[in-house]
Structure 1
Amino acid sequence: MIKEELDITIKDLLEAGAHFGHQKMRWNPKMKRFIFEERSGIYIIDLAKTMQQIRNAIEVVSDVVTQHKTILFVGTKKQAKTVVKECAENADEFYVNARWLGGMLTNLTTIRKSIKTLEKIEKRIATGGEGLTKKELSNLTKDQQKLEKNLAGIRTMRKPPGLLIVVDPYQEHIAVAEAKKLNIPVMALVDTNCNPDPIDYVIACNDDALKSVKLILTTLTTAIIEKKKEMKVVTKGEKKPTLKTNIDENIEIDVSDTETDKEV
């Protein structure tokens, strides 16, 4: 059952290590406004601002759902692969978690042709590869596995999404660039080494820690699911669920007992 109240606190973010940025030498000065302080050579992200960004992000994804637009989750780094797939599937949205193929947004027609090729290969294999040698069938199976790996999360995406949710825009810069070219808004989990300028909806956080990525993406996913549920029941006169975040800007940030999970 989906909760009517969505709770996430600064304490949750602290426990997930969301406040740890990169080493001072690896920072992007444009992230300065999202930094709380520098401690032991590591930048500490201002979680009060992150909380407000999450609150805004919840409103944004809810609005996208209300407009009957789709959402594409993007995260190909090892910390994001599994959670990106799980969140997208739970929300019945699209995802890319293996490799961003150039043109996934800007040349969707070609990508759709690749998907049709995948479907043809699957049908051929399903019939036992009649008429093919063992080597030909083996090669066909390898092609199927490669295409499935890269295209599994967008097989039914026939037009550009209404929003991208990106984990680490530094790594996923091609996806961000394609989205900007098509005027598709981008929401991203942005660490202190990233340039936030191309991002429409910044969520400043540690994008290297699995717990941090999972906490924030799960929160957004819950908002998407609840909004879809609300849209289904509202015609029946049922009470609309409300989304809330609890912000405690006075909580003291103690980094002594938390782990960074940060690549150094």
Structure 2
Amino acid sequence: MTSSISETKKLVQQMVSAGVHLGYRRRNPKMTPYVYIKKDGLQIIDLFQTYCALKKASSYLYDISRRGKRILFVGTRKYISKYIEQIADECNSWYINKRWLGGLLTNWNTLNDLKFKMQKIEIGKNQTKKEKARIEQQKKRLRKYLNGIRSMYKQPDFVIIIGQKREMKAVKECIKLKIPTLTILDTNGNPDLTDIFIPANDNSLQSITFILNDLSKAIKKGQEHKETL
């Protein structure tokens, strides 16, 4: 019991160091139960609730990964783009880290056509420099937006969203298709638009990194245990 309490305190201290508790100045009234206090104009998130939500989310991700479910990470803000790619690759998951193209999931046939086009576009010997430049630009654009889902052979079973306000197109498509989602939800977010959420600072790379590292470990652990079932 003493060890468990000590580990919990250590984790909470790490969350404070990562700025997980620092919310926005504005607050969605639906996030009020997850705010500990308002200080210096900022909403201070209740880290005990963050801790509980993180443990619950990690347990859930372990379970679905153990059952072979596939996960898609979505986070397109420039300063987290590289990290989204890294964390998704580490846990054998798909990702969108540049831009969510409208209809990405709801218009499945169009997505498959674009991926096929990305793989098959070739430059002919007899094409002019202008035509070659146009084709190269087209290939570059497709790779930029679709590289993280080039191996996605079916719709994801679960989507992890970082930055609800920015990724509203992804949120709406998941709701329409009834694909469950997990969202790192700041104080200005809407908990009604996600199935699972972790109340936390979604505007800091350090905070996002801290949470996704924990989630990634759960996914990898589930994938490892899948082999022994």
TM over 0.5: yes
**Partner secondary structure for residue 100 of structure 1:** coil
How far apart are the structure 1 equivalents of 2:38 and 2:112? 47
Contact 1:80 1:167 in 2 (8 A): no
Task: For structure 1, list consecutive stretches of 5 or more residues without a partner in the other structure.
Answer: 1-5, 236-264
How far apart are the structure 2 equivalents of 1:195 and 1:228? 31
Q: Which residue of 2 aligns with 1:104?
A: 104
**Partner secondary structure for residue 191 of structure 2:** coil
Q: Which residue of 2 aligns with 1:255?
A: none
* Higher relative helix content: 2
Q: Which residue of 2 aligns with 1:58?
A: 58
Contact 1:17 1:206 in 2 (8 A): yes
Amino acid at match of 2:162: V
The offset of 1:160, in angstroms, is 1.0
How far apart are the structure 2 equivalents of 1:44 and 1:173? 24
1:131-142 matches, within 5 Å, as 131-142=126-137
Amino acid at match of 1:16: A
Q: Which residue of 2 aligns with 1:177?
A: 172
Q: Which residue of 1 aligns with 2:118?
A: 118
Q: Which residue of 2 aligns with 1:72?
A: 72
The offset of 1:180, in angstroms, is 1.0
RMSD of aligned alpha carbons: 1.5
Change (3 A) 1:164 1:74: same
**Partner secondary structure for residue 161 of structure 2:** strand
Amino acid at match of 2:158: L
The C-alpha deviation readout for 1:169-205, integer Å capped at 9, x for no partner, is 1111110111111111110100111111111111111
How far apart are the structure 2 equivalents of 1:67 and 1:228? 8
- Deviating above 2 A after TM superposition, structure 1's stretches of 4 or more consecutive aligned residues are none
How far apart are the structure 2 equivalents of 1:113 and 1:155? 11
Q: Which residue of 2 aligns with 1:163?
A: 158
Contact 2:65 2:223 in 1 (8 A): yes
Using structure 1 for the length normalisation, give the TM-score. 0.81
The C-alpha deviation readout for 1:112-165, integer Å capped at 9, x for no partner, is 1011111111xx14xxx3121111111110000100000001111121111100
Q: Which residue of 2 aligns with 1:9?
A: 11
Contact 1:79 1:208 in 2 (8 A): no
Contact 1:70 1:163 in 2 (8 A): yes
Q: Which residue of 2 aligns with 1:41?
A: 41
Q: Which residue of 2 aligns with 1:212?
A: 207
How far apart are the structure 1 equivalents of 2:27 and 2:101? 28
Task: For structure 2, list consecutive stretches of 5 or more residues without a partner in the other structure.
Answer: 1-6
Amino acid at match of 2:12: I
Contact 1:170 1:194 in 2 (8 A): yes
Amino acid at match of 1:66: R
Q: Which residue of 1 aligns with 2:24?
A: 22
Sequence identity (%)? 36
The C-alpha deviation readout for 1:29-48, integer Å capped at 9, x for no partner, is 11101101000111000010
